[in-house]
Amino acid sequence: MTRKQRLVVDVGDVSHDATVTFDDTGRATVEVAGRIYEVTPRGDHVQIVAPTDDHHVYAVSVEPASSPTAAAVAGVAVPVRVRSPHQAALEALERAAGTASGRIEAPMPGRIVRVLVEEGATVEKDAPCVIIEAMKMENELRAPVAGTVTRLVAEVDTAVDAGALLCEITATVDG
């Protein structure tokens, strides 16, 4: 019996609708934008490889988790986020209503290398706030909303887990 599961996958700043299909043998494929990718377990990670229909093979290593937060493409770390279409729709409604979260959370396990804001500071949307090093790459975490930094948890040289709260920003209310 074939099972299908729909997901919304963010790779960096780009969001993709994906369908994961599991066949009777346990083999899995992922369909994104009409292209089918093979999924192969490889030791302690999963490798996703595109078919060679365009004469390119893309190997992506994904951390082994039910909801991975990091992947590596040709050895370059990329933050990823996986959620259900329902979760993605709720987030879209929150953004449209102006109630988007002002939380900055670690997208993957890593180490804080720089904190660019302080409590009480006013920040613009997309302003760099914290830099985290993960998989030997520095990742700049930006303000999800314009507002005031009301809580700062991130400290330089601190190891953090995926999902750890680093900073909270109270959104500016336009009016």
Q: Residue 120 sits in which domain range?
A: 100-171
pLDDT in the model for residue 175: 37
Residue 32, classed as helix, strand or coil, is strand
Q: Is residue 88 part of a domain?
A: no
Within this chain, do residues 7 and 73 fall inside the same structural domain, yes or no?
A: yes
**Mean per-residue pLDDT, 13-36:** 84
More confident residue, 44 or 97: 44
- 54 pLDDT band (50/70/90 cuts)? low
CA distance 71 to 62: 4
**Mean per-residue pLDDT, 156-160:** 95
Tokens of 138: 């520095």
What size, in residues, is the chain?
175
Q: What is the dihedral of CA 156, 157, 163, 169, to 10 degrees?
A: 0
Beta bridge partners of 168: 103, 151
Q: Is the pLDDT of residue 119 over 60?
A: yes
Domain end position, chosen among 41, 57, 83: 83
Q: Is the pLDDT of residue 36 over 50?
A: yes
Within this chain, do residues 118 and 167 fall inside the same structural domain, yes or no?
A: yes
**Mean per-residue pLDDT, 29-35:** 84
DSSP 69-118: -EEEETTEEEEEEEE-HHHHHHHHHHHHTT----EEE-SSSEEEEEE---
Q: Is the pLDDT of residue 105 over 50?
A: yes
More confident residue, 71 or 90: 71
**Mean per-residue pLDDT, 126-149:** 89
Within this chain, do residues 117 and 61 fall inside the same structural domain, yes or no?
A: no
- 120 pLDDT band (50/70/90 cuts)? very high
- 57 pLDDT band (50/70/90 cuts)? low
CB-based burial label for 55 (10 Å; 0-12, 13-18, 19+): exposed
Count of domains for the chain? 2
Within this chain, do residues 120 and 57 fall inside the same structural domain, yes or no?
A: no
More confident residue, 140 or 12: 140
**Mean per-residue pLDDT, 111-136:** 92
pLDDT in the model for residue 76: 78
Q: Is the pLDDT of residue 123 over 90?
A: yes
Q: Is the pLDDT of residue 52 over 60?
A: no
What element of type H or E holds 133? strand 128-134
CATH number at residue 139: 2.40.50.100
Within this chain, do residues 67 and 116 fall inside the same structural domain, yes or no?
A: no
